[in-house]
Amino acid sequence: MTEDRGLPPGARPWLAAESPAAGDKRHAPATARNRDAIAEVLARTLPPHGRVLEIASGSGEHVVHFARLFPGLVWQPSDPDPAALASIAAWSAEAGLANIAPPLRLDAAAPEAWGVGQADAALCINMVHISPWAAMVGLFSGCASILPPGAPLILYGPYREDDVETAPSNLAFDASLKARNPEWGLRDVADVDRIAAECGFERTQRVEMPANNLSLIYRRGPRSG
Protein backbone atom coordinates (compact mmCIF):
# COMPACT_ATOMS: atom_id res chain seq x y z
CA MET A 1 0.00 0.00 0.00
CA THR A 2 1.43 3.37 -1.00
CA GLU A 3 0.34 6.81 0.09
CA ASP A 4 -0.33 9.57 -2.36
CA ARG A 5 -0.51 12.95 -0.66
CA GLY A 6 1.86 15.85 -1.16
CA LEU A 7 1.35 16.78 -4.82
CA PRO A 8 2.33 20.26 -5.98
CA PRO A 9 -0.29 22.93 -6.86
CA GLY A 10 -3.12 21.67 -9.05
CA ALA A 11 -2.25 18.00 -8.56
CA ARG A 12 -4.08 17.02 -5.39
CA PRO A 13 -7.26 15.32 -6.71
CA TRP A 14 -7.95 13.46 -3.44
CA LEU A 15 -8.06 16.67 -1.36
CA ALA A 16 -11.80 17.21 -1.42
CA ALA A 17 -13.90 19.41 0.84
CA GLU A 18 -15.08 17.48 3.88
CA SER A 19 -18.64 18.77 3.33
CA PRO A 20 -20.22 21.91 1.84
CA ALA A 21 -20.19 23.43 5.34
CA ALA A 22 -16.51 22.69 5.79
CA GLY A 23 -15.54 25.54 3.47
CA ASP A 24 -11.84 25.53 2.73
CA LYS A 25 -11.00 22.40 4.74
CA ARG A 26 -9.55 19.55 2.69
CA HIS A 27 -9.01 15.94 3.70
CA ALA A 28 -6.05 13.70 2.84
CA PRO A 29 -7.00 10.08 3.71
CA ALA A 30 -3.38 8.99 4.20
CA THR A 31 -3.03 11.42 7.11
CA ALA A 32 -5.15 9.34 9.48
CA ARG A 33 -3.23 6.21 8.50
CA ASN A 34 0.29 7.50 9.01
CA ARG A 35 0.10 10.29 11.58
CA ASP A 36 0.55 8.15 14.69
CA ALA A 37 3.52 6.24 13.26
CA ILE A 38 5.14 9.53 12.28
CA ALA A 39 4.38 10.98 15.71
CA GLU A 40 6.32 8.13 17.32
CA VAL A 41 9.37 9.14 15.30
CA LEU A 42 8.85 12.80 16.15
CA ALA A 43 8.63 12.03 19.86
CA ARG A 44 12.12 10.53 19.71
CA THR A 45 13.58 13.22 17.49
CA LEU A 46 12.14 16.68 18.11
CA PRO A 47 13.40 19.00 20.82
CA PRO A 48 10.99 19.60 23.73
CA HIS A 49 10.67 23.30 22.89
CA GLY A 50 11.24 25.52 19.89
CA ARG A 51 9.88 26.04 16.39
CA VAL A 52 9.20 23.34 13.81
CA LEU A 53 8.88 24.25 10.14
CA GLU A 54 6.67 21.82 8.22
CA ILE A 55 7.35 22.03 4.49
CA ALA A 56 4.54 20.98 2.10
CA SER A 57 1.86 20.78 4.80
CA GLY A 58 -0.87 19.78 2.32
CA SER A 59 -4.31 19.74 3.90
CA GLY A 60 -3.04 20.87 7.32
CA GLU A 61 -4.30 17.80 9.17
CA HIS A 62 -0.83 16.63 10.14
CA VAL A 63 0.20 19.92 11.70
CA VAL A 64 -2.96 20.07 13.81
CA HIS A 65 -2.42 16.51 15.05
CA PHE A 66 1.22 17.12 15.90
CA ALA A 67 0.53 20.47 17.55
CA ARG A 68 -1.86 18.72 19.94
CA LEU A 69 0.67 16.01 20.74
CA PHE A 70 3.64 18.37 21.17
CA PRO A 71 2.29 21.52 22.84
CA GLY A 72 5.77 22.72 23.84
CA LEU A 73 6.62 23.33 20.18
CA VAL A 74 5.44 26.11 17.89
CA TRP A 75 4.45 24.65 14.54
CA GLN A 76 4.94 26.61 11.33
CA PRO A 77 3.02 25.04 8.42
CA SER A 78 3.73 25.97 4.81
CA ASP A 79 2.79 25.06 1.26
CA PRO A 80 3.11 26.57 -2.25
CA ASP A 81 -0.55 25.88 -3.13
CA PRO A 82 -3.09 28.62 -2.24
CA ALA A 83 -5.86 26.03 -1.81
CA ALA A 84 -3.69 24.07 0.60
CA LEU A 85 -2.89 27.24 2.54
CA ALA A 86 -6.61 27.93 2.90
CA SER A 87 -7.18 24.38 4.12
CA ILE A 88 -4.34 24.64 6.64
CA ALA A 89 -5.79 27.88 7.96
CA ALA A 90 -9.27 26.33 8.24
CA TRP A 91 -8.09 23.23 10.12
CA SER A 92 -5.94 25.39 12.40
CA ALA A 93 -8.79 27.77 13.15
CA GLU A 94 -11.10 24.88 14.01
CA ALA A 95 -8.48 23.34 16.30
CA GLY A 96 -7.97 26.61 18.14
CA LEU A 97 -4.41 25.73 19.14
CA ALA A 98 -2.16 28.61 20.12
CA ASN A 99 1.01 26.80 18.99
CA ILE A 100 0.17 26.76 15.26
CA ALA A 101 1.48 29.79 13.36
CA PRO A 102 -0.37 31.13 10.29
CA PRO A 103 0.62 29.12 7.19
CA LEU A 104 3.34 30.45 4.92
CA ARG A 105 3.36 30.27 1.15
CA LEU A 106 6.66 28.50 0.63
CA ASP A 107 8.13 26.86 -2.46
CA ALA A 108 10.79 24.32 -1.48
CA ALA A 109 12.54 24.85 -4.82
CA ALA A 110 13.08 28.57 -4.08
CA PRO A 111 14.81 28.66 -0.66
CA GLU A 112 16.10 32.17 -1.26
CA ALA A 113 12.49 33.38 -0.99
CA TRP A 114 11.39 31.42 2.09
CA GLY A 115 11.55 34.29 4.55
CA VAL A 116 11.24 31.89 7.46
CA GLY A 117 13.93 32.92 9.94
CA GLN A 118 15.39 30.34 12.30
CA ALA A 119 13.71 27.05 13.18
CA ASP A 120 14.71 24.32 15.61
CA ALA A 121 13.55 21.40 13.44
CA ALA A 122 12.04 20.79 10.01
CA LEU A 123 9.58 18.19 8.81
CA CYS A 124 8.64 17.21 5.25
CA ILE A 125 6.05 14.50 4.66
CA ASN A 126 5.39 12.96 1.23
CA MET A 127 6.82 15.76 -0.90
CA VAL A 128 10.17 14.55 -2.22
CA HIS A 129 8.76 11.98 -4.65
CA ILE A 130 5.95 14.21 -5.96
CA SER A 131 7.97 17.28 -6.83
CA PRO A 132 10.87 18.15 -9.14
CA TRP A 133 14.42 17.30 -8.10
CA ALA A 134 14.98 21.02 -7.53
CA ALA A 135 12.47 20.93 -4.68
CA MET A 136 14.53 18.38 -2.78
CA VAL A 137 17.75 20.31 -3.40
CA GLY A 138 16.02 23.48 -2.23
CA LEU A 139 14.63 21.69 0.80
CA PHE A 140 18.13 20.88 2.10
CA SER A 141 19.61 24.20 0.98
CA GLY A 142 16.88 26.19 2.69
CA CYS A 143 17.01 24.16 5.88
CA ALA A 144 20.78 24.60 6.00
CA SER A 145 20.22 28.34 6.34
CA ILE A 146 17.56 28.16 9.08
CA LEU A 147 18.51 25.19 11.27
CA PRO A 148 21.23 25.41 13.94
CA PRO A 149 23.92 22.72 14.22
CA GLY A 150 22.49 19.43 15.42
CA ALA A 151 18.90 20.29 14.52
CA PRO A 152 16.88 17.57 12.74
CA LEU A 153 15.36 17.56 9.29
CA ILE A 154 12.87 14.69 9.12
CA LEU A 155 11.67 13.27 5.81
CA TYR A 156 8.86 10.75 5.43
CA GLY A 157 7.74 8.89 2.33
CA PRO A 158 8.61 6.05 -0.07
CA TYR A 159 12.18 5.71 -1.34
CA ARG A 160 14.41 3.36 -3.29
CA GLU A 161 17.44 1.75 -1.67
CA ASP A 162 20.33 -0.02 -3.42
CA ASP A 163 20.44 -2.90 -0.98
CA VAL A 164 16.71 -3.30 -0.35
CA GLU A 165 14.21 -4.79 -2.79
CA THR A 166 11.60 -2.20 -3.75
CA ALA A 167 8.05 -3.27 -2.92
CA PRO A 168 5.87 -3.95 -6.00
CA SER A 169 3.39 -1.31 -4.82
CA ASN A 170 6.17 1.27 -4.71
CA LEU A 171 7.36 0.28 -8.18
CA ALA A 172 3.84 0.75 -9.51
CA PHE A 173 3.54 4.07 -7.68
CA ASP A 174 6.85 5.23 -9.13
CA ALA A 175 5.70 4.37 -12.66
CA SER A 176 2.41 6.22 -12.16
CA LEU A 177 4.20 9.30 -10.85
CA LYS A 178 6.58 9.41 -13.82
CA ALA A 179 3.65 8.95 -16.20
CA ARG A 180 2.03 12.04 -14.70
CA ASN A 181 5.24 14.05 -14.64
CA PRO A 182 8.68 12.79 -15.69
CA GLU A 183 10.26 15.04 -13.02
CA TRP A 184 8.53 13.07 -10.26
CA GLY A 185 9.33 9.63 -8.89
CA LEU A 186 10.75 7.77 -5.93
CA ARG A 187 14.23 9.01 -5.02
CA ASP A 188 17.20 6.83 -4.18
CA VAL A 189 18.22 7.23 -0.56
CA ALA A 190 21.85 7.41 -1.69
CA ASP A 191 21.04 10.42 -3.88
CA VAL A 192 19.19 12.11 -1.03
CA ASP A 193 22.17 11.47 1.24
CA ARG A 194 24.47 13.04 -1.34
CA ILE A 195 22.44 16.23 -1.58
CA ALA A 196 22.15 16.32 2.19
CA ALA A 197 25.94 16.09 2.56
CA GLU A 198 26.47 18.85 0.02
CA CYS A 199 24.25 21.07 2.16
CA GLY A 200 25.93 20.19 5.44
CA PHE A 201 23.60 17.45 6.69
CA GLU A 202 24.31 13.88 7.75
CA ARG A 203 21.71 11.13 7.91
CA THR A 204 21.66 9.82 11.46
CA GLN A 205 18.71 7.46 11.34
CA ARG A 206 16.60 5.36 8.99
CA VAL A 207 13.27 4.14 10.35
CA GLU A 208 11.08 1.62 8.52
CA MET A 209 7.46 2.77 8.53
CA PRO A 210 4.13 1.16 7.62
CA ALA A 211 3.00 0.89 3.98
CA ASN A 212 6.56 0.61 2.60
CA ASN A 213 7.59 4.08 3.70
CA LEU A 214 10.68 5.35 5.51
CA SER A 215 11.49 8.12 7.92
CA LEU A 216 14.92 9.56 7.19
CA ILE A 217 16.42 11.79 9.86
CA TYR A 218 19.19 14.22 8.97
CA ARG A 219 21.11 16.45 11.35
CA ARG A 220 22.66 19.79 10.54
CA GLY A 221 26.43 19.74 10.94
CA PRO A 222 28.56 22.58 12.33
CA ARG A 223 28.44 25.70 10.24
CA SER A 224 31.61 26.45 8.34
CA GLY A 225 33.43 29.76 8.51
User: By C-alpha distance, which of 183, 169, 86 is closest to 131?
Assistant: 183
Please, are residues 134 and 109 in contact by the beta-carbon 8 Å criterion? yes
Flag whether 49 is in a domain. Answer: yes
More confident residue, 154 or 29: 154
pLDDT of the residue at 27: 87
3-state secondary structure of 208: strand
Total of domains in the chain: 1
Q: What angle do CA 128, 134, 140 make, to 5 degrees?
A: 70
Q: How confident is the model at residue 7 (pLDDT cuts 50, 70, 90)?
A: very low
List, as one string, the DSSP characters of 114-155: ------SEEEEES-GGGS-HHHHHHHHHHHHHHSPTT-EEEE
Residue 225 forms part of a structural domain: no
**153 lies in which domain range?**
16-220
CATH number at residue 110: 3.40.50.150
Is residue 155, in this structure, part of any structural domain at all?
A: yes
28, HSE (Cβ side, Cα atoms, 13 Å): 26
Model pLDDT for residues 77-132, shown as the tens digit of each residue: 999 999 999 999 999 999 999 999 999 999 999 999 998 989 999 999 999 999 99
Whether residue 10 lies inside any domain: the answer is no
Domain assignment of residue 174, yes or no: yes
Residue 84 placed within a domain: yes
Would you place residue 3 in the very low, low, confident or very high pLDDT band (cuts 50, 70, 90)? low
Q: pTM for the complete prediction?
A: 0.89
Question: What pLDDT score does 102 carry?
Answer: 96
pLDDT digits (tens, 9 = 90+) for 42-67: 999 999 999 999 999 999 999 999 99
Residue-wise pLDDT tens digits, 137-165? 999 999 999 999 999 999 999 999 998 99
* 39 domain-assigned: yes
Tell whether 161 is covered by a domain: yes
164-209 residue pLDDT tens: 999 999 999 999 999 999 999 999 999 999 999 999 999 999 999 9
